Structure 1
Amino acid sequence: MRHTDVLVVGAGLAGLRVATLLAENGHSVVVIDRRRDLTTSIRTTGIFVRRTLDDYDLPDHLLGPAIRRVVLYPPSLQDPVELVSERDEYRVGEMGALYAAGARAAAKAGAELRLGTRYLGGSNGRYEVSGPEGSVAVNARFVVGADGARSRVARDLGLDRNTHLLVGAEDVFNVSEPVDSPAFHCVLDPRLAPGYIGWVINDGKHAHVGTAGYSRRFRGGVRGTLDEFAARAPGLAEADRSPADVERRGGPIPVGGLLRRISSPDGLLVGDAAGAVSPLTAGGLDPCLRLSDYAAVAVDEALRTGQRNALREYDGVALRRKFTGRLMMRHALAQVKHPTMASAGFGVLRTPFGRAAARKVLFGDRSFPDPPETQSTAPVAQRRTGV
């Protein structure tokens, strides 16, 4: 029988962030992940937006060159709309290395990391996990679900679960030569990405080619569709389309906005498990880190005071309001089901109004809200050291 203050299920950025903050505050933390190697089975593109880069101390050598240029394409791929920011807007992280760095930071803070260990379930402070040594019972005062879009922890805590999901797939190619102007290419075509976009991010180090959408609408499956797209994707040289030495990624993407019930007296959810992903852009790295800060404040308060009701302040209903506008845009994008509709909608992007709206979405200053800062919780909330 193991005893700990907090059991964190999932060693992605969200779980590692919570574990590090709580361990630094003197709490005992056990982090489990079913992967034996955190540098494998990557699911995310790894796009960090400017607000994250400004607010979090991420290792610069694990981030690709800055991207200021976004190119938007209609289904024909002809006559795209190009938007250029005066600021560095995006950088793509080497996610495997970032996860490994996050694990080292958590261990340095005092958290115990157990890889190759699966969460089997539990309730009322007793949870079963299965690892290299077999099945083990863990007694934890609180459990944190950082276990992805289809969270089992959410089920066991009786919390909300994601039901509005896209499925995405991505290939990552090594780029043969640096590019003069790194760019984020986005293709609006419901045949390629039903309800979402296809993308190419070429920063001169790697090229990420991907698509996502509603799984039932992919005629040839998401992987078959991606293979067809990669053969003609914009922003990628022919020499860089080699099927050799390519990393393949994929998985579900929650786009229903932050869930309403993300905490109970026994624990809470973070990251994809909590639906902390932009409904419109499907960007999840910035909200995942900020929600993890918020979670660390709530759990720290509950552990220090012994009051489980402190987790009530971790309220998805209040935070969900920040997603209202993007939820409406998500609904509108989901209705684009034919290339002619996409082409007509794309025409709006060519107008001054459309370009201004696109710039606001792509280059805006808004981000997920920071945790509340009180005298007792400010040390956790203000700590911005990254992985």
Structure 2
Amino acid sequence: MQQHDICILGAGPGGAAAALHLANKGIPCVLIDKAIFPRDKVCGDALSGKVVSELKRISPDLLSSLSGQEAQLPSWGIHFISPAGHKLSVPFKYNYDPTQDAPSGYISKRVDFDNFLIEQVKQHPEITLLEGIDVAKVERTDHGFSLSDKSGEHQLRSRLLIVANGAHSSFARQTAGIKQEPEHYCAGLRAYYKNVAGLDKDNFIELHFLKDFLPGYFWIFPLPGGHANVGVGMLSETVSQKKVNLKKEMLRMIETHPEFRQRFAGAELIGDIKGYGLPLGSKKRVISGDNYMLVGDAASLIDPFTGEGISNAMISGRWAATQAELCLQQQNFSADFMQHYDKAVYNRLWKELKLSRRMQRLLDYPWLFDQVASKASKNQALAETISCMFTDLDLRERLKQPSFYLKLLFN
């Protein structure tokens, strides 16, 4: 039975970020994952400007290393297509110049991005990476937790457990008491296609809000080599109430929607259509306790409007490393002391998550969404304002004010 101060369960972006920040502080840890990298992860594959910022926080050189990878595309923004077909284009950086500016976002398959982070992990002697170990049992001890795999061959004890093992974390459910609530949970499907026509020249990602699929959305994200990540997402509550077959609906839209039918006419599905769950950050939760912290999807931190989770996982991983350092310094691993972690994460993310929840609810009023998109497509000043709203939270606050929509409708 090996004894360690810090064990991180799950080596995705949240767990890897926590390990790398700890290594930068000179603090050793054990990073465990049931998979052997590279491994696939069902996801939209978009890396937002927040991911770019988090990579820079880990190391100033990390972003240039990523941009040098063949398995990524620079992305300059998002196209939101309203139920009536109006396109609202939101660049990550207003008035950008692809020939001069550094990209504010990227698109990379998770099999490649996660492995990119793991390669960084392997360069740090402070991190003990254990791949291919499926931790089957986690038990509380007098001084933390004990972990063991099914065979009992791998056993270790840790004073502090950073839980970053994803949306289906049994620890999050059974020990931390995080419930899967349909109104705060999204069901998603992801497929890879090649030769989808009409992809944006600057690799804008596309979110389509179709009137017969609300409050769900359909996405197309360009990828290297003429490939695209294509998928759908919808609140689990709605899927259950309306008895929606997501796979059938996704294929129906591709085959019958006038635009998609044309764009997918020469496209080819690569592999299988895969499903996954998204625990949304539309509700505050207790994400720590005695001797543990939850990170990323295990802490239900996914953006309710865009479905993005990678950046929030990395942000929570960074704060988990900060709290872990304090725990070691003060030899305090109590739930009360861990609350500093919860406060730090929600101080950074809650305002943003709450506003995204309001934007998600805007889908209950498709006519209003159409009006916003229609006006913005014809009004450069409004388009600039909405573009800035995605990076300026104070501006985004205006989205929850009725006066914003009244001025929009009657001006």
Whole-angstrom distance in 2 between the partners of 1:286 and 1:240: 34
Q: What corresponds to 1:123 in structure 2?
A: 140
Counterpart of 1:32 in structure 2: which amino acid?
I
Query: Counterpart of 1:330 in 2: which secondary structure?
Result: helix
Unaligned runs of 5+ in 1: 368-387
Query: Counterpart of 2:317 in 1: which secondary structure?
Result: helix
Q: Specify whether residues 108 and 329 from structure 1 end up closer, same or farther in structure 2 by C-alpha distance, changes over 3 A only.
A: closer
Q: Map residues 58-69 of structure 1 onto 2, 5 A cutoff.
A: 58=63, 59-62=66-69, 64-69=72-77
Whole-angstrom distance in 2 between the partners of 1:180 and 1:261: 43
User: TM-score if structure 2 supplies the norm length?
Assistant: 0.75
Q: Deviations over 1:78-116 (max 9, x none)?
A: 443444542344310232122222223223223222233
Q: Deviations over 1:137-163 (max 9, x none)?
A: 321111111011232223454354553
Matched, 1:289 2:333: no
Contact 2:7–2:162 (8 Å) recurs in 1: yes
Contact 1:200–1:235 (8 Å) recurs in 2: no
Whole-angstrom distance in 1 between the partners of 2:105 and 2:345: 28
Q: What corresponds to 2:45 in structure 1?
A: 46
Q: What corresponds to 1:379 in structure 2?
A: none
- Once the two structures are TM-superposed, the CA of residue 270 in structure 1 deviates from its matched residue by 0.7
**Selected match of 2:350 from 323, 331, 339:** 323
Q: Deviations over 1:36-56 (max 9, x none)?
A: 44422x122121122432452
Q: What corresponds to 2:409 in structure 1?
A: none
Q: Specify whether residues 345 and 30 from structure 1 end up closer, same or farther in structure 2 by C-alpha distance, changes over 3 A only.
A: same
Q: What corresponds to 2:167 in structure 1?
A: 149
Matched, 1:86 2:95: yes
Q: What corresponds to 1:300 in structure 2?
A: 325
Whole-angstrom distance in 1 between the partners of 2:116 and 2:345: 33
Q: What corresponds to 1:165 in structure 2?
A: 185
Query: Counterpart of 1:19 in 2: which secondary structure?
Result: helix
Counterpart of 1:10 in structure 2: which amino acid?
G
User: TM-score if structure 1 supplies the norm length?
Assistant: 0.79
Q: Specify whether residues 189 and 277 from structure 1 end up closer, same or farther in structure 2 by C-alpha distance, changes over 3 A only.
A: same
- Once the two structures are TM-superposed, the CA of residue 321 in structure 1 deviates from its matched residue by 7.6
**Selected match of 1:101 from 109, 112, 116:** 116
Q: Specify whether residues 2 and 71 from structure 1 end up closer, same or farther in structure 2 by C-alpha distance, changes over 3 A only.
A: same
Q: Map residues 29-44 of structure 1 onto 2, 5 A cutoff.
A: 29-40=29-40, 42-44=41-43
Whole-angstrom distance in 1 between the partners of 2:352 and 2:318: 23
Counterpart of 1:166 in structure 2: which amino acid?
C
Contact 1:255–1:280 (8 Å) recurs in 2: no
- Once the two structures are TM-superposed, the CA of residue 292 in structure 1 deviates from its matched residue by 0.9
Q: Deviations over 1:230-287 (max 9, x none)?
A: 33464984365212x3464431112234643112231101111112222222212222
Contact 2:304–2:360 (8 Å) recurs in 1: no
Q: What corresponds to 2:231 in structure 1?
A: 210
User: How many residue pairs were aligned?
Assistant: 358
Contact 1:185–1:234 (8 Å) recurs in 2: no
Q: Specify whether residues 114 and 191 from structure 1 end up closer, same or farther in structure 2 by C-alpha distance, changes over 3 A only.
A: farther
Contact 1:259–1:317 (8 Å) recurs in 2: no
Matched, 1:138 2:156: yes
- Once the two structures are TM-superposed, the CA of residue 35 in structure 1 deviates from its matched residue by 2.3
Matched, 1:278 2:303: yes
Q: What corresponds to 1:15 in structure 2?
A: 15
Whole-angstrom distance in 2 between the partners of 1:348 and 1:39: 40
Q: What corresponds to 2:403 in structure 1?
A: none
Q: Deviations over 1:274-303 (max 9, x none)?
A: 122222222122221122111101102212
Q: What corresponds to 2:207 in structure 1?
A: 186
Q: Deviations over 1:129-188 (max 9, x none)?
A: 316x54543211111110112322234543545531101111122348986342322211
Query: Counterpart of 2:268 in 1: which secondary structure?
Result: coil
Q: What corresponds to 1:114 in structure 2?
A: 130
**Selected match of 1:314 from 312, 320, 341:** 341
Whole-angstrom distance in 1 between the partners of 2:281 and 2:50: 22
Contact 2:254–2:261 (8 Å) recurs in 1: no
- Once the two structures are TM-superposed, the CA of residue 365 in structure 1 deviates from its matched residue by 4.7
Counterpart of 2:11 in structure 1: which amino acid?
A
Q: Map residues 217-366 of structure 1 onto 2, 5 A cutoff.
A: 217-218=238-239, 219-231=243-255, 232=257, 234=260, 237-238=263-264, 241-243=267-269, 245-246=270-271, 248-257=273-282, 259-309=284-334, 310-316=337-343, 319=346, 322-324=349-351, 326-327=353-354, 329-331=356-358, 333-334=360-361, 336=363, 341-352=365-376, 355=383, 358-362=386-390, 364-365=391-392
RMSD: 3.2
Instruction: After superposing the two structures, state which structure 1 stretch, 229-238 or 60-69, moved more.
Output: 229-238
Q: Deviations over 1:317-375 (max 9, x none)?
A: 872684346435525634745xxx4244312322259745642444x2559xxxxxxxx
Contact 1:67–1:203 (8 Å) recurs in 2: no
